[in-house]
Structure 1
Amino acid sequence: MSGPVGGADPSDPSERAYDLWAGLHEGVDPRGSVWVAGWVRLVHRCARPLAGRGVRPDTVTLVGVLVAGTAPVLATLPAGWPLLAVVAVLAAAVLDGVDGALAARTGRATAWGRVLDPLADRCSDVLLLLVLLVLGAPWWLVGLVVVATLLLESVRAHAQVAGLHGPGAITVWERPARVIVAVLAVLMHLAELAARGLGVAVLPRVDGPGLVTALAVVAALLAGAGLVSLVVAVRRALPG
């Protein structure tokens, strides 16, 4: 695990969060990435007022699942409601990081929290991928993406129990990719509705469900590639 660099204050909650993140990602220092460091700062800023109000990390975890659950419902509503689905997807992604930041700031990290958090993450993964289903992608294709996603996380979890340190590999199908796919599905759906309303035929032979299905195919390929790359990395990392 990397320690604070430069003149960083080791007592600063953000610095402690950087070290915790590094310990879970094969010692990679998030300070070296503007995006990752910015993400860590963002979730800590969101966690700060919650910590002051005594909100429990488990509460944030459960709220994140509920917010993710609204995304597939909002995506199917008319008018501008699907835009709120985009907000719901992004909010659920932020809350996924806020609960851990809140636990770090308040010292409320518990054994039960370490069980609840990945369980909630997998529920949120499935709910976000349901956006593809409700917008027209075939059930078997979305099911394939869901199964590959759950298998990927199951391999990682069992490998860590077997002695793997860190995530094993950062694949092309981590949580950010899943969030991006859900957001793109809604935006593509909205674009198709807007074009239809204006009488514009951007892709005359492809309707909204067809676009979402194509996106689901991309998601399936990414999920499969991620699963394979993780299995290979875990096999190389573990003895026997």
Structure 2
Amino acid sequence: MGNRLTWDEYATAWAGLHGGFDPRTAAPVVRGWLRMAYLVGALLGRLRVSPAAVTVVGLVLCAVVPVVAGRSSTGAFVGALLVLLASVADSVDGAVAVVTGRTSRLGYVYDSTADRVGEAFWLAAFWLVGVSGVVVVTAGALSWLHEYVRARAVSAGMKEIGAVTLGERPTRVSITVVGLVVAGAAGLIRTELAAGAATVVVAVWILLALFGLGQLLSAVRRTLA
């Protein structure tokens, strides 16, 4: 049955793994993104591609981002494309696991770890473009703290929740893609402008991470108090 799941069957199974958040009721953009992941995941499932293989591909794409982005303004554009492709892989690996019936707690841990390592590569790209190390580390630490608080809340009995804050991974993906594009465009105008443009974008990452962390802590307090 694994790779013959219909969209409705897949959505039901996906919701069960994400705290009951039904993708069929999500905003059009989110619903479209998840349906795309389902279609690609179903195809890869039929081709007998494992979820772990997709996760590894996504991580490798992330690892290449700082290599290309730090070389030139054009490289920053390529880096933005790689981040986008890695985010697709991040959605598809879970879809492959669902449609093939290969979801597991171990796979969830691997996937989450790959996400954090991938984000570290993205921030390394911004550092190579010229953003201060302190700013980069602050952005990474806040994002890590956001995920840590969520994980501890779930282990304390809070039902796992979907994307409810401004500090979630989709926000980080969007900021990284936009940031690398902006840095690349600024660098084409004048090389030294790339660092300043990237710094502004990472500052936005930090602000949204702070706001999102506050939202998450508020939700945790309401649920577990």
Q: Could you say which structure has the larger radius of gyration?
A: 1
Q: Does 1:90 pair with 2:84?
A: yes
Distance 2:153 2:203 in 1: 28
Contact 1:30–1:37 at 8 Å: present in 2 too? yes
Structure 1 unaligned residues grouped into runs of 5+: 1-10, 198-205
Identity, % of aligned pairs? 35
Residue 152 of structure 2 corresponds to: 158
Distance 2:14 2:123 in 1: 26
Q: How far has the Cα of 1:207 moved from its partner?
A: 2.0
The correspondence for 2:137, drawn from 137, 140, 143, is 143
Q: How far has the Cα of 1:79 moved from its partner?
A: 6.2
Q: 1:169 to 1:70 in 2, by over 3 A?
A: closer
Q: How far has the Cα of 1:157 moved from its partner?
A: 0.8
Residue 14 of structure 1 corresponds to: 7
What are the Cα deviations for residues 151-203 of structure 1, in whole angstroms up to 9, with x where unaligned?
A: 10011011111111122761101111111111122111221122238xxxxxx
TM-score, normalised to structure 1's length?
A: 0.84
Q: Does 1:60 pair with 2:80?
A: no
Paired letter, 2:164: I
Q: How far has the Cα of 1:49 moved from its partner?
A: 2.6
Residue 221 of structure 1 corresponds to: 207
Distance 2:20 2:106 in 1: 25
Q: Does 1:34 pair with 2:28?
A: yes
Structure 2 unaligned residues grouped into runs of 5+: none
Q: Does 1:232 pair with 2:225?
A: no
Paired letter, 1:229: Q
SS of aligned partner of 2:68 = helix
Distance 2:163 2:41 in 1: 28
Q: Does 1:102 pair with 2:88?
A: no
Contact 2:76–2:180 at 8 Å: present in 1 too? yes
Residue 4 of structure 1 corresponds to: none
SS of aligned partner of 1:137 = coil
Distance 2:116 2:208 in 1: 17
Identify the range of structure 1 (153-162 vs 70-79) with the bigger mean alpha-carbon deviation. 70-79
TM-score, normalised to structure 2's length?
A: 0.90
Distance 1:232 1:105 in 2: 35
Q: Does 1:180 pair with 2:174?
A: yes
SS of aligned partner of 1:80 = helix
Residue 193 of structure 1 corresponds to: 187
Identify the range of structure 1 (166-175 vs 225-234) with the bigger mean alpha-carbon deviation. 166-175
Contact 1:14–1:40 at 8 Å: present in 2 too? no
Q: How far has the Cα of 1:216 moved from its partner?
A: 1.4
Q: How far has the Cα of 1:15 moved from its partner?
A: 1.7
Q: 1:153 to 1:20 in 2, by over 3 A?
A: farther
What are the Cα deviations for residues 3-45 of structure 1, in whole angstroms up to 9, with x where unaligned?
A: xxxxxxxx84322332244345554432232112111111122
Contact 2:65–2:82 at 8 Å: present in 1 too? yes
The count of residues paired between Structure 1 and Structure 2 equals: 221
Q: How far has the Cα of 1:237 moved from its partner?
A: 0.4
Paired letter, 1:213: T
